[in-house]
Amino acid sequence: MAEPARRGVPEATVGRLPGYLRALGQAAERGTPSISSEELAGLAGVRSTQLRKDLSHLGSYGVRGVGYDVAQLSAQIARELGLTQDWPVVIVGLGNLGRALAAYRGFATRGFRVVALVDEDPALVGTAIEGLTVRTLDQLASAGPRVAIGVITTPARSAQQVADRLVAMGVRSILNFAPCLLSVPDGVEVRRVDMATELQILAFHEQRRSLADDHAEETAG
């Protein structure tokens, strides 16, 4: 039974698969041909029961008494995530952040290829960054390569219109770095990376700890 409830992978599980893949990469470097759920879970930072349940959702199975074949499980998760093909990516907005992303070699290593760079600044359009010529959205729409995933690194005020243009071009997956909400039609998925939000969550807990510390001092002293 290699194909159980195949179309029912829970979202929470999907969110952990990339982590498992990275952990498997580490395991592969060590040269161990197979790995137990306990050890792999340790590398991925989850409980072994959770790992096993997650893997059970993909119908994958290891060998009882032994563990999982590292190479095989890697391939299976990569296939599940759609990383067997290369996804063409466009980066829109080549400021500080967009340029850092364009220069980042980490994408290419796994299934993603930056095939276009877009900005509206006339001083940038036509110049080459990382071997790619910067274009406008118009140029991309009329004569560019097909892109599957759009990365938005423009200021927040431009993000919505950029998203609209991308959607009109057929892009259904957007990674948004601008600190704002994007409204898109059904069938288009937006994920946000928001460092300000992350910092604020850290600040919340930091403050909670500070208050706890203060209280401890108070009662102790």
Ligand X SMILES: NC(=O)c1ccc[n+]([C@@H]2O[C@H](COP(=O)([O-])OP(=O)(O)OC[C@H]3O[C@@H](n4cnc5c(N)ncnc54)[C@H](O)[C@@H]3O)[C@@H](O)[C@H]2O)c1
Rounded to 5, what percent of the chain is helix, strand, coil? 50, 15, 35
- Which listed residue (93, 134, 163, 167) binds ligand X by CB under 6 A? 93
Which residues pair with residue 167 across a beta bridge? Answer: none
Q: Which tokens in the block code for residue 156?
A: 């927040």
**Under the criterion CB under 7 A, does residue 56 sit at the interface with DNA?**
yes
From residue 133 to residue 172, what is the string marking binding to ligand X with x (rule CB under 6 A)?
Answer: --------------------xxxx-x--xx----------
- Which listed residue (3, 30, 31, 65) binds DNA by CB under 7 A? 65
**Least distance (Å) between residue 185 CB and ligand X:** 20
Q: Which of its own copies, ligand X, DNA, none does 92 bind, CB closer than 5 to 8 A by kind?
A: ligand X
With both helix axes pointing from N to C terminus, report the angle between 11-30 and 70-81 in degrees, rounded to the nearest 10. 140
**Under the criterion CB under 7 A, does residue 52 sit at the interface with DNA?**
yes
Q: Which of 104, 100, 103, 138 is nearest to 118 (CA)?
A: 138
Using the contact rule CB under 6 A, the part of the chain among 2-10, 11-19, 29-37, 119-127 near ligand X is 119-127
> Which residues within the stretch 12-41 sit at the binding site for ligand X (CB under 6 A)?
none
Element (H, E) at 176: strand 173-176
The answer to whether the CB of 134 falls within 8 A of the CB of 94 is yes
Residue partners of 119: CB distance under 8 A and separation at least 6: 92, 93, 94, 98, 125, 134, 136
**Under the criterion CB under 6 A, does residue 65 sit at the interface with ligand X?**
no
Backbone angles phi, psi at 140, to 5 degrees: -65, -45
User: Which of helix, strand or coil describes residue 41?
Assistant: helix
> Which residues within the stretch 186-205 sit at the binding site for ligand X (CB under 6 A)?
195
**Least distance (Å) between residue 149 CB and DNA:** 23
- Which listed residue (6, 10, 126, 202) binds DNA by CB under 7 A? 10
Binding site for DNA (CB under 7 A): 1, 4, 10-13, 36-38, 46-50, 52-53, 55-56, 60-68
Residues engaged in binding ligand X (CB under 6 A): 92-98, 100-101, 104, 106, 118-121, 153-156, 158, 161-162, 177-179, 195
